[in-house]
Structure 1
Amino acid sequence: MVERVVDAAAERPDLSVVIVTYNAASLIGPCLDSLAADCADLHIEVFVVDNGSRDGTPDLLRRAYPWVRLNATGRNLGFSAGNNQALPLCAGRAVMLLNPDTIVHRGAVPRMIAHLRDHPEVGAVGPMLCLGDGSIQPECARRLPAPGNLLAWLLLLDKLVLHLPGRRQAGAVGDPPAPTWYDGFNLLAWPRQRACAVQSICGACILLRHEVLRQVGLLDETSPMYLDDIDFCRRILDAGWAIHYQPESVITHLWKQSSDPRRAGDHYALGCHAIWLYLHKHHGRAAARAFEAMAALAAVLRLPAAALLAVWPGPTQPRRRYRLSMARGLARWAWRLPKRPPLFGFASETLPDSFEAPAP
């Protein structure tokens, strides 16, 4: 079985898989095992780019998975730059970006490949992503960010509308309600049980045609984390391809937020700046400035409310403290407050002192 999966000397591979790791020794084994089992009847090549792991991930790969083409960079390049180390080497008819914290369910990859074969207008397809508790991760099918739906996201309106009559959460069955600006860009109220065209899928697993990669190019390295997958999807759409969500393909995403509530704010601030970069790139300076103003307003509204709720005792207090940390991260970004140390150790993740777009 392994020989069939990794044989790179025969015909052109059906699929090239790129996985970027960072301290993923406990995760990469189950990920690769599930991938190999699901692709037993396919000819695939697997690239793993290790971003300077300190937990023995490269040694584990060399010892237990010699068929993987390993590139140990020795430093943390970030998600986009890490993928870009391997993407130019991919020879498969299709290319898949896969997170190391995923478990591929049987039939997931063959179904996505078949979906591309049966729908020539589709450039990329994404699976249903289920979290460790079995719930559906909303990011697996979403809209592109725009000023209206970003305002809903900043003010948490996309979460509040879930409690309105007729609104449904991501795991519900049925036709999705017509999206509105207050549904946000993650479309939390949409059911995700039917295949459909979407504007964006999650970078935890994206399968695309090799010709699409040649046409749109590599991932944008401007933002080291967050929205690089959305930017990639935007460029695929701009090139004239459709993007489909395929719920019959299921992948478990063992994604979890940091257990340290202080770091939730750091993540939120980095996410806000990634959105700012995306808007500046695709919508221009005016849209980016509008997002700055919306973020500052949202911080004024959210921070006092979150601070009051965080001190109220009860079983949900840890969650409320988590939201307070996110509100602080929003305020720190919007009001240009002093920055905390980097999360992951690569210099480009630090927040800038001013809102200036990178040089083209």
Structure 2
Amino acid sequence: MSALAPTIALDLLYVVVLNWNLPADTIACVRSLQAELPTTAQILIVDNHSSDDSVAQFRAAFADTVHVLVTPANLGFAGGMNAGIRAALDAGADAVLLLNNDTVVDSAMLAELLHAAHARPQAGVLGPAIFYYDHPTRIWQLGSREYPLLPIPMNLGMRDLHHAAGRPFRLDYVTGCAMFVRRHVFEQVGLLDTSYVMYYEDADFCRRVRQAGYEIWCVPQARMWHRVSLSAGMVKPASRYAWAWGRARFYRQHPHGVVPGLGFVYLLMSTLIKSVGDLLRGDHQLTALLWRGTFDGYALRPVHGPVPGQAEVPG
């Protein structure tokens, strides 16, 4: 066991892992969690209405050592995670770790997060250091910070990791790929906003958490590796629309910087650059969905395009 284990005193931590048609990756993720699972932790797989034999594979692989919740439909990332959060809170969880299924974790990651949470009661949300699965020493995501003169937050990287020297540090956003949240934060702030469907629900949640007076921390000694959006890759057009819609809605709802209008300029310029890349590859469908998602999201219109796991909405 990790040297940190004796300091862990939370009565109950639930790890919620969301699956949609990727049973092999979900099983690998859960097994990495089980390698050194604290006695205060439980694992819950939420199957987001998979069309394959995911649930049967989970029951064969884990029997009754892992909880499995099956949703009645594909609820999107936010909706699926919310189903898991509600189940965890109903079971008495004192904290919930939201975890992507296309990841594997270091055996001490949960212990490190719990240790950091106990040392920082003011921290409502904590996140680990996340590396690329195929490049194990290359950072995928630590989180990001806001800056007064910039219309968007800036991602932190290896330089920030070195500067931290292994110590936890504050920031403004962590990714929903791995997000440790205290129970009372959900009770005060609410759950993930399901209107985001798949992207930027984590950023919206972090913004609301900070507005409620809680802090957000990165715990660099807690490490994991991300296979990078395998689920999104299976439905690229739907993924592109959902990403563009979520990004535009988020920056419209939560302006950044001292000149809020710069956010709209940033959206237009970055959308133009990305669409040029799509066109050079001959992918006109992605270009159209990128612009459609951007304008729908910024106008605060409901999702009106393809959604991962569902048929395209007419229009």
Structure 2 residue matching 1:97: 3-state secondary structure: strand
Equivalent position of 2:306 in the other structure:
342
Tell me the equivalent position of 2:108.
Answer: 107
Q: Which amino acid aligns with 1:42?
A: T
Q: Which amino acid aligns with 2:61?
A: A
Q: Which amino acid aligns with 1:171?
A: M
**Match of residue 201 from structure 1:** 174
TM-score (norm 1): 0.69
Cα 1:291–1:14 change in 2 (3 A) is same
Whether the 8 Å CA contact 2:97–2:179 is kept in 1: the answer is yes
Q: Distance in 2 between matches of 1:37 and 1:247?
A: 20
TM-score (norm 2): 0.77
Report the equivalent of 1:8.
Answer: none
Q: Which residue does the alignment assign to 1:166? A: none
Q: Which secondary structure state, in structure 1, belongs to the residue aligned with residue 114 of structure 2? A: helix
SS of equivalent residue, structure 1 residue 246? strand
2:142 corresponding residue in structure 1:
140
In the alignment of these two chains, the number of paired residues is 294
Match of 2:128 in 1: 127
Q: Which moved more, 1:324-333 or 1:239-248?
A: 324-333
CA distance in 1, matches of 2:219, 2:24: 28
SS in 2 for 1:226: coil
Query: Is the 2:237–2:306 Cα contact (8 Å) retained in structure 1?
Result: no
CA deviations on 1:215-267 (whole Å, 9 max, x unpaired) are 2111110110101111111111111111110110101111146668xx65653
Summarize the alignment of residues 49-60 of structure 1 with structure 2, pairs less than 5 Å apart.
49-60=46-57
Following superposition of structure 1 onto structure 2, how do residues 15-26 of structure 1 map, counting pairs within 5 Å?
Answer: 15-26=13-24
Residue 282 (structure 1) aligned with residue 260 (structure 2) = no
**The one of 212, 221, 229 aligned to 2:202:** 229
Q: Is the counterpart of residue 68 in structure 1 residue 51 in structure 2?
A: no
Aligned residue identity for 2:310: F
Residues 346 and 13 (structure 1), Cα distance of their counterparts in 2 relative to 1, 3 Å cut: farther
Match of 2:158 in 1: 171
Q: Aligned letter for 2:213?
A: G
Aligned to 1:38, what secondary structure does the other structure show? coil
Shift of 1:62: 1.8
**SS state at 1:18 partner:** strand
Cα distance in 2 for partners of 1:68, 1:276 equals 37
Q: What amino acid does structure 1 have at the position aligned with 2:130?
A: L
Matched to 1:205, the amino acid is A
Alpha-carbon distance between aligned partners in 2 of 1:75 and 1:145, rounded to the nearest angstrom: 40
Q: Distance in 1 between matches of 2:138 and 2:168?
A: 14
2:31 aligns with 33
Q: 1:22–1:121: structure 2 CA closer, same or farther, 3 Å change rule? A: same
Does the 8 Å contact 2:128/2:224 carry over to 1? Answer: yes
| Distance across 2 between alignment mates of 1:222 and 1:235 | 15
Determine the C-alpha separation between the residues in 2 that align with 1:322 and 1:33: 41
Alignment partner of 1:247 out of 220, 224, 232: 220
SS of 2:113's equivalent? helix
Q: Deviation string for 1:164-211 (max 9, x for gaps)?
A: xxxxx82346766xxxxxxxxxxxxxx996531010111111112222
Distance 2:274 2:59 in 1: 48
Task: Give the 3 Å change call, closer, same or farther, for CA 61–325 of structure 1 in structure 2.
Answer: same
Q: Distance in 1 between matches of 2:221 and 2:58?
A: 30
Please tell me whether residue 214 in structure 1 is matched to residue 187 in structure 2.
Answer: yes
Query: For structure 1, which runs of at least 5 residues remain unmatched after alignment?
Result: 2-10, 159-168, 177-190, 311-320, 354-360
Tell me the amino acid that sits aligned with residue 246 of structure 2: A
Instruction: Give the Cα–Cα distance (whole angstroms) in 2 for the partners of residues 122 and 267 of structure 1.
Output: 31
Q: Percent identity?
A: 23
Name the counterpart of 1:88. Answer: 86
CA drift of 1:271 comes to 1.7
Say which structure is richer in strand.
2
Q: Does the 8 Å contact 1:172/1:192 carry over to 2?
A: no
Comparing 20-29 with 208-217, greater Cα deviation is found at 208-217
| CA RMSD of superposed structures (Å) | 3.8
Q: Is the 8 A contact 2:239 2:308 kept in 1?
A: no
Partner of 2:44: 47
Report the alpha carbon displacement of residue 294 of structure 1 after superposing the two structures with TM: 4.5
Match of 1:271 in 2: 243
Distance 1:51 1:216 in 2: 24
> Relative to structure 1, is the Cα distance of residues 266 and 64 closer, same or farther in structure 2, using a 3 angstrom cutoff?
closer
Shift of 1:81: 0.7
Q: Deviations over 1:134-177 (max 9, x none)?
A: 25444331135999444x99xxxx9xxxxxxxxxx82346766x
What letter is aligned with 2:128? P
Matched-pair contact (CA < 8 Å) for 2:293–2:305: no
SS in 2 for 1:20: strand
Rg larger in structure = 1
User: Which residue identity is paired with 2:145?
Assistant: R
Taking a change above 3 Å as real, the CA distance of residues 79 and 301 of structure 1, as seen in their structure-2 partners, is closer
1:161: which partner in 2?
none
Aligned to 1:52, the other structure's residue is in SS state coil
Deviation at 1:276, TM superposition (A): 2.3
Q: Distance in 2 between matches of 1:174 and 1:204?
A: 18
